[in-house]
Structure 1
Amino acid sequence: MNAHSEHAGRADPECALCRDDGGRVLWTGPRLRVIDAGEPEYPGFTRVIWHAHVAEMTDLSREERDLIMHAVWLVEQAQRDVLRPDKINLATFGNYVPHLHWHVIPRWRDDPQFPDAFWSPRRRPPTADAPQGAARLARLEASMPDYRMALATALDELR
């Protein structure tokens, strides 16, 4: 631990990610977990969440930063291999929940907000309302077991 992470093992009872998993747990290890964000229009939207309550990447030691980023890259690769998105967005905000976590978001050119951020106003109708979008959502939902298996296999190297 570095000087900034002396408190890293403590939980904050006011923090949603300390109290709850933050979604359906797809994989968990000693220092982090990977969850399904549960965004219906974005199947495969995944979060990598550090277990201990810290707000910023610089609260972690170099080894810990390497670990969480390695997990993010493994999630991204599993999305590319199984879901085949047009683009993947990576983000860490923590404005609402100041607990270190990364968003790994598969994106498609026909998703409602593309090319803008997924929280931006819609440029198109909901994905399910468009024939191509509905077919893509059905394909992605059918791919979820393969995605979860690919994630578990890849992430097990972090144990």
Structure 2
Amino acid sequence: MDFYTIWESAHFRLSQSYDFRFPGYLFVECHSGVRRLNDFGPGESEELAAVLKLGERLLDLLIRPERIYVLKFGESDDRIHFHLIPRTAELLKSYLDERQGSPPYNGALITAWLWANAGRLGHSDADIQDFISSAQRMSEQLTS
């Protein structure tokens, strides 16, 4: 298991983002290299649902976000993968300090803003490591 990995199975890995300095920004990566949901083999769809549920549960318990965004991609890496992004009150405030907005908020615009500004939000390597350590311990409890 590498520094960022929180939980791993034969088919999937749940990890803290290695691209964005934001505790709780999670990746769900598929080991098999499939490009579409229809390409999953037996049991993989059910396991994907379980790992997405695990990621969301970890965020609810450890971050307590107001919303959790789930995005499916396959651009920079052809393999299907998902981003789970905790939209906290603090993230929303930082976004609104620079942008106009009122409810209902646009999650896509907030996500794009986070991608451009994650480094400015002040999260340290220690913040990231603390989240990873807590998420690893919690995932062991939730999956055993």
Normalising by structure 1, report the TM-score: 0.65
* Aligned mates of 1:23, 1:102 — CA distance in 2: 19
* Aligned mates of 1:36, 1:29 — CA distance in 2: 16
* Aligned mates of 1:23, 1:52 — CA distance in 2: 21
Which of the pair is proportionally richer in helix? 2
Unaligned runs of 5+ in 2: 97-104
Partner amino acid for 2:65?
P
Give the direction of change, closer, same or farther, for the CA distance of 1:117–1:96 in structure 2 (3 Å limit).
farther
Does the CA-based 8 Å contact 1:49-1:101 persist in structure 2?
yes
Partner amino acid for 2:33?
H
Percent sequence identity is 17
After superposition, residues 72-91 of structure 1 pair within 5 angstroms as 72-91=52-71
* Aligned mates of 2:78, 2:110 — CA distance in 1: 20
Q: 1:71 aligns with which of 28, 51, 54?
A: 51
Partner amino acid for 2:88?
W
Q: Which moved more, 1:24-33 or 1:72-81?
A: 24-33
CA apart distance, 1:146: 2.1
Does the CA-based 8 Å contact 2:16-2:24 persist in structure 1?
yes
* Aligned mates of 2:95, 2:76 — CA distance in 1: 21
Does the CA-based 8 Å contact 1:32-1:51 persist in structure 2?
yes
Larger Rg: 1
After superposition, residues 117-156 of structure 1 pair within 5 angstroms as 117-120=110-113, 126-128=120-122, 137=123, 141=127, 144=131, 145-154=133-142, 156=143
Aligned residues: 125
Does the CA-based 8 Å contact 1:89-1:105 persist in structure 2?
yes
RMSD of aligned alpha carbons: 3.0
Give the direction of change, closer, same or farther, for the CA distance of 1:113–1:22 in structure 2 (3 Å limit).
farther
Normalising by structure 2, report the TM-score: 0.70
CA apart distance, 1:62: 6.0
* Aligned mates of 2:17, 2:110 — CA distance in 1: 16
Partner amino acid for 1:126?
R
* Aligned mates of 1:113, 1:97 — CA distance in 2: 28
